[in-house]
Amino acid sequence: MTASILDGKSFAASIREKVAEHVARLKNEHGVTPGLAVVLVGEDPASQVYVRSKGKQTVEVGMASFEHKLAPDISEADLLDLITKLNADPEIHGILVQLPLPAHLNSDLVINSIDPAKDVDGFHISNVGLLGTGQKSMVPCTPLGCLMMLRDHHGSLSGLEAVVVGRSNIVGKPMAQLLLGESCTVTIAHSRTKDLAETCRRADILVAAVGRAEMIPGDWVKPGATVIDVGINRIERDGKRVLVGDVHFDSAAQVAGAITPVPGGVGPMTIACLLANTVTACCRANGLPEPDGLTV
């Protein structure tokens, strides 16, 4: 293996430490405790795991955690009522509605009912627009974590060729906006891209966010490139359930200059950035200076 490993686990721990320090300062000097409300509709097992982890880490950094677990058949009106209450609650600075929602609920409507200032996911249409026009916004957590790792590794990203594989609203599109904001030359590729292999080979920075296990082999990677693997796919290998990314790690690590592993790469950064966004939202709500290094 030639690539250096970008260790998201320890990076995320350092972000949580910064968040905890800032939370202590907010409490001691300003009498304010940042609060995060997480709303889970239904009983999707993966979502339950994520929500539990978010609640646990929120408490560990000293913030207040409010969990709302709702029945899978809750009406849209009742869900919107809850969000209206959370929007008005001064103890709550961040609101996250875990996705995906059951099919009878209109996700766009629900997300856009969150106060944009409390939208710590950065999914509200106002935050999407602010990010797209280079204005101060709430930035989606996974792309924010990827950008922090890229900045840490490269310093300036200016002029680099970046290829984002995947065009989701949660990762691909905001990731592309962030890289554009860093003056990269950005391509968004996806399942219909004509020559995906050749497109990937152009990338100095290759971000894989397609949700297909090991879809990107090493011979799609430019020698020396930085590979950010957002995929978290559960597959069976040698009779065991294992986690793999969207990139074929062993072959890509022979070619890349740096690469994020799965697990232990981008994954841990997402919740760390959620905590960072909640502190940022709390500071903005109280007219206080924002902590350094926790947003872009």
Footprint on this chain of ligand GUN (rule: CB under 6 A): 96-99, 121, 141-142, 170, 270
Minimum Å gap between C-beta 170 and ligand GUN is 6
Q: Which is nearer to ligand GUN, 107 or 254 (CB)?
A: 107
CA–CA dist 146, 144 (Å, integer) = 5
Q: Which is nearer to ligand GUN, 258 or 266 (CB)?
A: 266
| 27 is an active site residue | no
Minimum Å gap between C-beta 103 and ligand GUN is 15
The neighbouring-strand residues paired with 17 are none
Cβ–Cβ under 8 Å, residues 99 and 170: yes
What Å distances lie between residue 275 and 26, 121, 140, 144, 246, CA to CA?
Answer: 14, 10, 12, 12, 26
Minimum Å gap between C-beta 262 and ligand GUN is 15
**What are 242's two structure tokens?**
């294992």
Cβ–Cβ under 8 Å, residues 261 and 249: yes
**What are 12's two structure tokens?**
């995320």
Q: Which is nearer to ligand GUN, 145 or 261 (CB)?
A: 145
Task: Kindly name the residue from 121, 204, 229, 246 that is annotated as catalytic.
Answer: 121
Q: Which is nearer to ligand GUN, 82 or 97 (CB)?
A: 97
| Nearest alpha-carbon partner for 29 in 41, 21, 19 | 21
Minimum Å gap between C-beta 121 and ligand GUN is 5
Q: Which residue is nearest to ligand GUN (CB)?
A: 99
Indicate the pairing of strand 35-41 with strand 94-97: parallel
Minimum Å gap between C-beta 65 and ligand GUN is 15
One-character DSSP codes across 221-246: SPTT-EEEE---EEEEETTEEEEE-S
| 54 is an active site residue | yes
Minimum Å gap between C-beta 114 and ligand GUN is 10
**What are 234's two structure tokens?**
């559960």
Q: Which is nearer to ligand GUN, 111 or 163 (CB)?
A: 111
Q: Which is nearer to ligand GUN, 168 or 193 (CB)?
A: 168
| Nearest alpha-carbon partner for 140 in 163, 119, 167, 110 | 119
| 69 is an active site residue | no
Task: Kindly name the residue from 54, 118, 173, 222 that is annotated as catalytic.
Answer: 54
| Nearest alpha-carbon partner for 79 in 104, 55, 52 | 104
Cβ–Cβ under 8 Å, residues 281 and 120: yes
- DSSP for residue 193: -
The residues carrying an active-site annotation are 54, 98, 121
